Amino acid sequence: MGLVPVRVKIDRERCVVAHFCFFYAATVFIPGEGGKPVISPEYAVNGVSEGVVPDELYEQVKEAERHCPSRAIKVYRE
Ligand code: SF4
C-alpha cells in the first residue's frame, strides 16, 4: 500500500476559496493567484494543480478532500 503514490488534484474551476484545504494540509496546499490553492512546489507535478505527496500526508490531504465544500479536491492512490 505504501508503495502506491498518493496523488492530489485541485479543480481550480470548482474551488470557491473556502480555505479549508490550507487548514487541513498546510504544507501541501498554498495560496496561489486570487487566493485559490495551488500544490506547493515541493509536491507539484504537471503544473500547480496536481501533486504527489508522501504517505505520511495521506490523512491530511484526505481531510482536506472531505472538508472541501465544492469537492474541488481529489485524493487517490495510483
Ligand atoms: S477547501 Fe476547496 S473550495 Fe476551499 S480553497 Fe480549498 S479547494 Fe478551494
SS3 of residue 24 by DSSP = helix
What's the Rg (C-alpha) of the chain? 11
pLDDT of residue 3: 77
Q: What is the mean pLDDT of residues 62-76?
A: 98
- Strand (E) positions, the chain? 6-10, 29-31, 37-39, 50-53, 73-77
What's the 40 CA to ligand 1 centre distance in angstroms?
14
Cell of 58: 495521506
Question: Binning pLDDT at 50, 70 and 90, where does residue 2 land?
Answer: low
CATH of domain 6-77: 3.30.70.20
Instruction: Name the β-bridge partners of 50.
Output: 9
Please state the pTM of the whole predicted model.
0.93
Pocket-forming residues, ligand 1, beta carbon under 6 Å: 10, 15-21, 37, 68-70, 72-73
**CA 5 to the chain's CA centroid:** 14
Give the model confidence (pLDDT) of 7-60 as tens digits. 999 999 999 999 999 999 999 999 998 899 999 999 999 999 999 999 999 999
Q: Which three cell numbers stand for residue 33?
A: 493567484
